[in-house]
């Protein structure tokens, strides 16, 4: 089931750590969560148990990735994952079999996140297959001296040309600058580790200004409470 296009930049947190999700959710900074097998392994916990907890903490989409490589098994795994909670988005790879699975699961009314996207043509196929989200991997493109933001811009243009409802979920984000650039390029969503989202608030001039204000306030000898 496709959602309406984002009216604002959404933040998904890329983690399987419940405490991190709770902290960000309390600030209203979590619109969804993305997980993958690597993050589950890092948590050291049972996959389905972690998913249930995450879905209880955030009402937004929670991406849970299949591990099968063939379409029929992906579909079976996707259906199993969708039983965990109604806000599960089934994550499938951008392969031919992944696209087949995406089509079937989407037609069943499930959210699908097509991941490991590295070209505009791949994103176009995902949109045609009915994906709720497509996840271009910014950082990994940067690693091989390609421009991940150019990919975001190309996908944005193509989707707008044909009014596709698939949302662009900028992934493999490693720095606050990646989030700024993704927003400027027109990504609907940025998914990032907790430390990157926290770093968005950091600026040396903010720290310096706060230090000066506190010094002047202390000199007044006053208290507010």
For the chain, strand residue ranges (E) read 10-14, 32-34, 62-65, 88-93, 111-117, 133-136, 167-170, 189-192
- Per-residue pLDDT for 5 more than 60? no
- Per-residue pLDDT for 173 more than 80? yes
Distances 119 to 16, 81, 171, 218 between C-alpha atoms, Å: 27, 27, 13, 56
Q: Hunting for tokens 């984002």 — which residue is that?
A: 6
pTM: 0.91
Query: Do the beta carbons of residue 95 and residue 65 sit within 8 Å?
Result: no
CA torsion sign, 125 to 119 to 4 to 86? Answer: positive
Indicate the domain borders of the chain: 10-220
pLDDT in tens, 185-208: 999 999 999 999 999 999 999 999
- Per-residue pLDDT for 176 more than 90? yes
Label residue 40 by pLDDT band (50, 70, 90): confident
For the chain, give the mean pLDDT. Answer: 94
- Per-residue pLDDT for 66 more than 50? yes
pLDDT in tens, 115-168: 999 999 999 999 999 999 999 999 999 999 999 999 999 999 999 999 999 999
Q: Measure the CA–CA gap between 69 and 159, rounded to whole angstroms.
A: 27
Q: Measure the CA–CA gap between 122 and 124, rounded to whole angstroms.
A: 5
Any catalytic annotation for residue 91? yes
Q: Measure the CA–CA gap between 184 and 65, rounded to whole angstroms.
A: 28
- Per-residue pLDDT for 113 more than 50? yes
**Domain topology for 10-220:** TIM Barrel (3.20.20)
Catalytic one of 7, 91, 195, 215: 91
């Amino acid at each position: 089931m496709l959602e309406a296009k984002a009216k604002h930049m959404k933040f998904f947190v890329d983690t399987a750590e419940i405490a991190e999700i709770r902290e960000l959710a309390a600030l209203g900074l979590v619109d969804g969560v993305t997980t993958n097998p690597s993050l589950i392994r890092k948590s050291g916990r049972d996959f389905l148990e972690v998913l249930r907890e995450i879905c209880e903490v955030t009402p937004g989409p929670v991406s849970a990735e299949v591990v099968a490589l063939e379409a029929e098994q992906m579909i079976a795994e996707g259906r199993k994952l969708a039983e965990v909670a109604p806000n599960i988005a089934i994550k499938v790879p951008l392969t031919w079999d992944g696209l087949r699975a995406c089509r079937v699961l989407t037609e069943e009314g499930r959210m699908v996140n097509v991941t490991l996207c590295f070209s505009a043509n791949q994103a176009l196929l995902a949109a045609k297959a009915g994906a709720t989200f497509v996840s271009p991997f910014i950082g990994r493109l940067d690693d091989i001296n390609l421009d991940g933001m150019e990919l975001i811009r190309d996908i944005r243009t193509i989707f707008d040309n044909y009014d596709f409802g698939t949302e662009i979920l900028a992934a493999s984000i490693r720095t606050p600058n990646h989030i700024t650039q993704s927003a400027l390029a027109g990504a609907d969503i940025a998914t990032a580790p907790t430390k990157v989202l926290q770093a968005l608030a950091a600026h040396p001039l903010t720290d310096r200004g706060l230090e000066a204000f506190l010094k002047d306030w202390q000199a007044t000898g006053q208290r507010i409470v």
